[in-house]
A and B are shown apart, each in its own frame.
Chain A
């Protein structure tokens, strides 16, 4: 397979935001909607689009799973048995064998679960798209071992990911415009009244 970073035209150390932007730009350009009239161009665009989507997914997966899992954890409280298990878990996560990684983690008793356990559990959850639990586990790992940069990075990564989507929304409504709120409430009330046969706002 071709290098996904080349497909999107970004460098390997580009930030997540840059990658997303590059992806969106290309996706807009090659979207089959733009070639509705020309069948050959359209099928070529569809192919290109597929390639772009695959590249984007590949990078996303890489980054989700590959946040430097290679390094063994620095947690000192864990027993050596667990440390070996954690190395295996990391290699499973890297290989995308999430189910096996999860059952290995679940095999560790509650009392032995240190910061690294919560971090790895968070990674497993994040790979499945279970973001709520992932957040909780990452936060827990960070509070148990505040000096660990790997755990901190995982937590920041999720916060940043969500932040970039919300930006558009918060800038338009950051001043909590109460006039808009009134309009929305009135429209809702209008709809409710209309359901029951009445009408609050004549013109709509």
Chain B
């Protein structure tokens, strides 16, 4: 995905930061364990966020151990073991990587994605979640046909939101969690469109905002903030079974993500 969903680290408590880093580490190793070592390079902050939220809602037990790994062979680091949550997140990450690369190749994309396709295919097979895969595929197909129609930003964002809603709530039967994911997805789509606006303008690639001469900063800023607010209201309504995770997620929703919005839609870009 995109890597926009990060905490504002300087506002985290030390124990929160420690937990965040160990879950990051745990997810990376889960991706290696369930999918493939090379897949670990596609780890993104957004999937870590998915892990935080799902773990906070399910209250799955977190077990922390000090471990060395390839990236840190000398000094051992705290690694979180949250089997159910991290396995699910590793699989979702593999599926999203696959469809992302496949999309790129079908659009006649870069050489790098063509080279990546075979291993991405392997990730997808390893993920072994045909239902979720189908769901992701259906939404991404819908999204790409909307994009070809040059549909509005909101219509596309709505489609991407539904996709993330399903991804967040999959297997947990939680309507509020679906809502939460829906708003997060819309926020990501809007932020990504605004962030890539200048770049896509130069390269001539597709951007949902390409009809605009200059970036409509005010409307974008307000639209993305209202999504965040809706997500925060949803999050408040969820059951929080882990208070440290809850604090990290609140930091992300109220500080980390607004600062990204601000950077992307602000004048001082």
The size bracket of the interface on B is: 35 or more
B71 CB contact (under 8 Å) in A33, A132, A169, A197: A197
Q: A7-15, A77-85, A108-116, A158-166: which lies at the B interface?
A: A158-166
Q: A169-B254, A169-B262 are in contact. Are A162 and B220 (CB under 8 A)?
A: no
The answer to whether B219 touches A132 (Cβ under 8 A) is yes
The answer to whether A27 touches B237 (Cβ under 8 A) is yes
Complex-state Cα separation, A172 to B10, whole angstroms: 12
The answer to whether A131 touches B227 (Cβ under 8 A) is yes
Complex-state Cα separation, A135 to B190, whole angstroms: 14
Q: A93-101, A145-153, A179-187: which lies at the B interface?
A: A179-187
Q: A166-B258, A195-B71, A199-B72 are in contact. Are A132 and B9 (CB under 8 A)?
A: no
The answer to whether A169 touches B72 (Cβ under 8 A) is no
Most buried by B among A125, A133, A169, A183: A169
Number of A positions contacting B (CB below 8 A):
39
The answer to whether B153 touches A24 (Cβ under 8 A) is no
Q: Is residue B70 within 8 Å, beta carbon to beta carbon, of the partner chain? A: yes
Complex-state Cα separation, A96 to B37, whole angstroms: 51
Chain A residues within an 8 Å CB radius of B71: 194-197
CB nearest neighbor in A for B257: A169
Chain B residues within an 8 Å CB radius of A130: 152, 154-155, 158
Q: A129-B230, A131-B226 are in contact. Are A204 and B259 (CB under 8 A)?
A: no
Complex-state Cα separation, A136 to B157, whole angstroms: 16
**CB contacts between A and B, total, < 8 Å:** 94
Complex-state Cα separation, A39 to B94, whole angstroms: 40
Q: Is residue A37 within 8 Å, beta carbon to beta carbon, of the partner chain? A: no
The answer to whether A132 touches B153 (Cβ under 8 A) is yes
B237 CB contact (under 8 Å) in A53, A133, A168, A202: A53
Interface of A is mostly: helix
A173 CB contact (under 8 Å) in B43, B220, B259: B259
Since A129-B226, A130-B155, A199-B72 are in contact, a sample of 20 more A-B pairs with Cβ atoms closer than 8 Å, ordered by chain A residue number, is A32-B239, A49-B237, A130-B152, A131-B226, A132-B219, A132-B220, A136-B219, A158-B226, A161-B222, A162-B221, A165-B225, A165-B228, A168-B254, A169-B259, A169-B262, A170-B262, A180-B10, A183-B9, A184-B8, A202-B75
Chain A interfacial positions (CB closer than 8 Å to B): 24, 27, 31-33, 49, 53, 125, 128-133, 135-136, 139, 158-159, 161-162, 165-166, 168-170, 172-173, 180, 183-184, 187, 194-197, 199, 202, 204
20 chain-A/chain-B pairs, Cβ below 8 angstroms: A27-B236, A33-B241, A53-B237, A125-B154, A128-B158, A131-B227, A133-B152, A133-B154, A161-B222, A162-B221, A162-B226, A168-B254, A169-B254, A172-B11, A173-B259, A183-B9, A184-B8, A194-B71, A196-B71, A197-B70
